[in-house]
Amino acid sequence: MRNAALSWFAKSLIFNAHHTQKCDAEHHPLSACFCMHIVLHSAPPYYYVIEGVPPLGVGGTPFDREGSRRLPQPFPSQSNLNGKAQRQRRIAMGLNSAIEWCDSSFSPWTGCQKVSPGCDHCYAEAWAERYKFCGWGPHADRRFSGGKTWTAIRRWSPLVDGHRRRIFSAELADIFDNKAHPIWRSQFFDLVRETPQFDWLILTKRPENMARMLPSDWGSGYPNVWLGVTAEDQPHYDRRWPILAATPAPVRFISYEPALGPLSIARHEAKPDWLIAGCESGRGARPSDEDWFRAIRDECLETGTAFFLKQVMRNRRKVSTPELDGQRWTQWP
Ligand code: SF4
């Protein structure tokens, strides 16, 4: 009996170490997950926060430590694509995005893991489940989007309505995900360098990984890359913005969407260049208050931050780029 208990304990320690190495999540302290983060850190009010805390894989990527993990497979040629793969390609790349603040979207790979409350109703995960194009979570493999997808982007017209094409990346993944293969990330930044005609809008919930995952020639930032972080409420702004503010980039932006609580940018000296705000939508959407958007708009106007109001819920319907106090707010930096 004693031996069985010791064996179980040893196995759970191995599981913890293995899981923690791959896990980006902010765990709830009561989570059933046996994550070492719970032991190592005190509990913040809601989710377990690891931002700013180096994962165990620091100093080498998770892939360095797991030599057996599969390397990215080349994507099959168009003629060999089955229906599922074709669907994945269409989903990973959007020449004309429905997202109001960008023109196009591109996910170099698909798959991610929830890391904070803003992820709770992740539509990318819902798509992945529906169309079965990849798994989700700390233990699911990410899926590379394929070479032809990447080639097609180079042929996109550089201008849209007189401005440089803005490409949101990644809609169905996170560029700074620990589980994404470093080779894919390196290839993505090659593509970014080779397409100076576009503006690449990289939005992440993992700014703590940026310093070690940005390319070595990042310097003062690539002129065609805007870096952004999601801040669904004040605590997440207070954690993520200072990291982004200390990272060189020609444009730094905040996505205050889904807005889950009021937000002020006043308490930090550095201010973002651009702030996108919007409510959560879809089934089970958590409510937001238009007064939150009024307050942050006024702060943006005072501080010279461009303000973009993406969506609000009115009469249980989503209204895109709505009027607020008699005016639509669709500013870009
Ligand atoms: S970081 Fe983005 S893509 Fe990843 S789970 Fe969260 S909301 Fe979804």
Per-residue pLDDT of 185-229, as tens digits, reads 999 999 999 999 999 999 999 999 999 999 999 999 999 999 999
Integer Cα distance of 262 and 292 in angstroms: 5
Listed residue (192, 268, 270) closest to 226, CA to CA: 192
Mutate to test the pocket of ligand 1, among 23, 109, 114, 256 (most ligand atoms within 8 A of CB): 114
Mutate to test the pocket of ligand 1, among 109, 119, 127 (most ligand atoms within 8 A of CB): 119
Centre of ligand 1 from the C-alpha of residue 120, in Å: 8
Which token pair is 163?
């401005």
Which amino acid makes up residue 258? Answer: P
Centre of ligand 1 from the C-alpha of residue 128, in Å: 12
By alpha-carbon position, which residue is closest to atom 6 of ligand 1?
Answer: 119
| 41 and 170, same domain (yes or no) | no
Centre of ligand 1 from the C-alpha of residue 58, in Å: 22
Centre of ligand 1 from the C-alpha of residue 111, in Å: 9
DSSP-assigned beta bridge partners for residue 160: 163
Ligand 1 atom closest to the Cα of residue 206 is 1
Which token pair is 107?
């996910």
pLDDT at residue number 35:
43
pLDDT at residue number 132:
80
By the 8 A CB rule, do 251 and 274 touch? Answer: yes
Domain holding 15, by residue range, is: 2-50
| 126 and 235, same domain (yes or no) | yes
Integer Cα distance of 23 and 7 in angstroms: 24
b/e per residue, 168-187, with b = 16+ CB within 10 A? Answer: bbbbbbbbbbbbbbeebbeb
Ligand 1 atom closest to the Cα of residue 205 is 1
| 16 and 142, same domain (yes or no) | no
Residue 308, classed as helix, strand or coil, is strand
Report yes or no on 130 lying in a domain: yes
Centre of ligand 1 from the C-alpha of residue 1, in Å: 43
Query: Which segments of the chain have a pLDDT < 50?
Result: 15-21, 27-81
CA distances to 95, 98, 206 from 150, in Å: 12, 20, 24
By alpha-carbon position, which residue is closest to atom 5 of ligand 1?
Answer: 114
| 140 and 207, same domain (yes or no) | yes
| 111 and 233, same domain (yes or no) | yes
Report yes or no on 74 lying in a domain: no
pLDDT at residue number 6:
61
Mutate to test the pocket of ligand 1, among 112, 127, 168 (most ligand atoms within 8 A of CB): 112
By alpha-carbon position, which residue is closest to atom 8 of ligand 1?
Answer: 122
b/e per residue, 288-298, with b = 16+ CB within 10 A? Answer: bebebbeebbe
* Radius of gyration from C-alpha coordinates of the chain: 20
State the first-to-last Cα distance of the chain, in angstroms, to the nearest integer: 66
pLDDT at residue number 33:
43
The H helix count followed by the E strand count for the chain is 10, 13
pLDDT at residue number 140:
92
Pocket of ligand 1 (CB under 6 A): 112-115, 119, 122, 124-125, 174, 205
| 26 and 172, same domain (yes or no) | no
pLDDT at residue number 186:
96
Structural domain count, the chain = 2
Report yes or no on 62 lying in a domain: no
By the 8 A CB rule, do 144 and 109 touch? Answer: yes
Centre of ligand 1 from the C-alpha of residue 116, in Å: 9
Return the CATH number at 310. Answer: 3.80.30
147-159 pLDDT, tens digit each: 777 888 999 999 9
Centre of ligand 1 from the C-alpha of residue 131, in Å: 17
Report yes or no on 63 lying in a domain: no
For the entire predicted model, the pTM comes to 0.78
Centre of ligand 1 from the C-alpha of residue 106, in Å: 14
pLDDT at residue number 74:
38
